[in-house]
């Protein structure tokens, strides 16, 4: 059995959990395989087809015989699947060079990271209710922001455009692949005399738009899992305000020299004031993804080994 097949099967199982395609009765340990539609179905405890198991208190875990790829997939993606109204999840992601840049000076970023990380982006979009980007990313990339490589549903696309400077001709506003919401300063919300349903105005202060108010507005629309996909200024703004639950940085073995920066935060006075994280590392082709849980206290001295999801 090839590792690609195992990864596809494990991803199908994750997607089935995210979309609630599994039997409801789970009052004891149960094992699940996949049917031809990609839904989870109960199988015998010793079935060779078992991919996942569910146990009271522990929840979903990978079956031992499903192997390390399935276990790594669950650890990486289940925290996103678990988002609810009571417990929403916000994940920031950047794909950067070894020297910390996410694009060339010109804005070209096709592609800093390789195909495995691009597939990961599509998987994150498929699992999340909303994907958020800054105006500069739409201006530079004209991205589709769909989950087309992952086989899931497309998220609602959220574009942060404080002064509504973006031209209406960009793909996210015209392609009908998913709905798109523009978040702007409240002074620009009814620029044309009437606030459109797909425009949300939020207050600003000296540091920019109130991103907490932005997240409240998304939750009011039942968007509970939010993927902040870039660029650097946008992910940095969410991180600086303490609004990210997870931070994912994919590091590609490329040196850009001088380009558009990834994270840029206010300067810290002392090393001890800096954010020191304890990531889980996932190999994605030639890149490494550092997946950081920002809500749990970790032992920063413990170094996790690199796990493979492909
Ligand atoms: N490698 C990757 O992972 C990745 C991912 C995405 C994009 N990119 C690349 O990154 C570049 C764009 O990144 P970037 O950092 O320059 O810009 P960006 O984050 O895409 O967009 C920044 C702009 O969004 C608006 N914005 C975001 N947060 C705001 C806040 N809290 N308050 C007010 N306005 C806010 C502002 O618009 P105004 O300018 O109108 O004030 C701001 O200048 C492009 O070259 C793109 O290709 C790379």
Cα 65 to chain centroid distance, Å, stands at 28
Q: Distance from the CA of 135 to the center of ligand 1, in angstroms?
A: 6
Q: Distance from the CA of 235 to the center of ligand 1, in angstroms?
A: 8
Average pLDDT, the chain: 92
Q: Render 60-96 in DSSP notation, one character per residue.
A: EEE-GGGHHHHHHHHHHHHHHHT--SSS-EEEEEEEE
Taking the domain 83-308, which CATH number applies? 3.40.430.10
Ligand 1, pocket-test mutation among 204, 231, 238, most atoms within 8 A of CB: 231
Q: How far apart are CA 39 and CA 19, in angstroms?
A: 9
> Nearest residue CA, atom 22 of ligand 1?
134
**Which DSSP symbol is given to 296?**
S
Atom of ligand 1 nearest to the CA of 133: 20
Q: Distance from the CA of 178 to the center of ligand 1, in angstroms?
A: 21
- pTM score: 0.95
* pLDDT averaged per 10 residues, the chain (length 310): 78 93 81 91 90 88 88 94 95 98 96 97 98 98 97 96 95 96 95 73 96 98 98 98 98 98 97 94 97 78 77
Q: Hey, where are the domains in the chain? A: 3-66, 83-308
What pLDDT is attached to residue 298? 56
Q: Distance from the CA of 161 to the center of ligand 1, in angstroms?
A: 9
Residues with CB under 6 A from ligand 1: 94-95, 102-103, 107, 109, 112, 133-137, 140-141, 160-163, 165, 208-209, 211, 229-234, 237, 260
Q: What percent of the chain has pLDDT over 70?
A: 94
What pLDDT is attached to residue 23? 86
Taking the CB of residue 170, how many other CB atoms lie within 10 A of it?
18
């Amino acid at each position: 059995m090839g590792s690609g097949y195992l990864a596809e099967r494990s991803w199908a199982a994750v997607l089935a959990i995210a979309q609630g395609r599994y039997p409801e009765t789970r009052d004891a340990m149960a094992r699940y395989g996949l049917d031809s539609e990609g839904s989870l179905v109960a199988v015998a405890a010793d079935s060779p087809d078992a991919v996942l198991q569910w146990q009271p208190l522990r929840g979903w875990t990978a079956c031992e015989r499903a192997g390390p790829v399935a276990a790594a997939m669950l650890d990486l993606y289940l925290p996103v699947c678990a988002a609810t109204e009571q417990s929403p999840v916000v994940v920031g992601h950047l794909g950067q060079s070894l020297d910390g840049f996410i694009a060339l000076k010109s804005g070209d970023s096709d592609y800093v990271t390789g195909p495995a990380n691009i597939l990961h982006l599509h998987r994150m979009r498929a699992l999340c209710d909303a994907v958020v980007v800054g105006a500069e990313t739409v201006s530079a990339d004209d991205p589709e922001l769909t989950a087309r490589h992952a086989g899931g549903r497309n998220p609602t696309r959220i574009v942060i455009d404080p002064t509504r400077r973006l031209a209406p001709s960009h793909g996210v506003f015209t392609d009908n692949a998913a709905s798109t919401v523009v978040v702007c300063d409240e002074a620009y919300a009814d620029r044309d005399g009437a606030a459109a349903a797909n425009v949300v105005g939020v207050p600003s202060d000296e540091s920019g738009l109130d991103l907490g108010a932005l997240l409240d507005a998304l939750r009011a629309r039942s968007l509970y899992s939010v993927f902040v996909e870039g660029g650097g200024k946008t992910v940095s703004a969410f991180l600086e305000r303490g609004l990210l639950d997870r931070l994912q940085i994919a590091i590609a073995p490329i040196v850009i020299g001088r380009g558009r920066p990834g994270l840029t935060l206010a300067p810290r006075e002392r090393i001890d004031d800096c954010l020191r994280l304890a990531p889980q590392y996932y190999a994605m082709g030639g890149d490494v993804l550092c997946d950081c849980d920002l809500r749990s206290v970790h032992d920063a001295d413990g170094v996790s080994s690199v796990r493979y999801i492909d």
